[in-house]
Structure 1
Amino acid sequence: MELTKFINNLKTVTSRRLRNEFQEQINKHV
């Protein structure tokens, strides 16, 4: 298992999830 690939995948997934939650928060406040 390539550690760098795993870390990159984790970063993309986390950033995507954070972005989605951020959008939801914005939509709630608007």
Structure 2
Amino acid sequence: MLRAGIIGATGYTGMELLRLLFYHPQVEITY
């Protein structure tokens, strides 16, 4: 499992990246 932390996820690009990582089966969002 891959852990990912995203800093400054504002705006369209940040939210799309967060959405893609959130639904990925092998990624855990830690921050």
Q: Which has the higher helix share?
A: 1
For the pair shown, the structure with the greater C-alpha radius of gyration is 1
Higher relative contact order (CA 8 A, sep 6+): 2
Q: Given the two structures, how large is their TM-score scaled by the length of structure 2?
A: 0.44
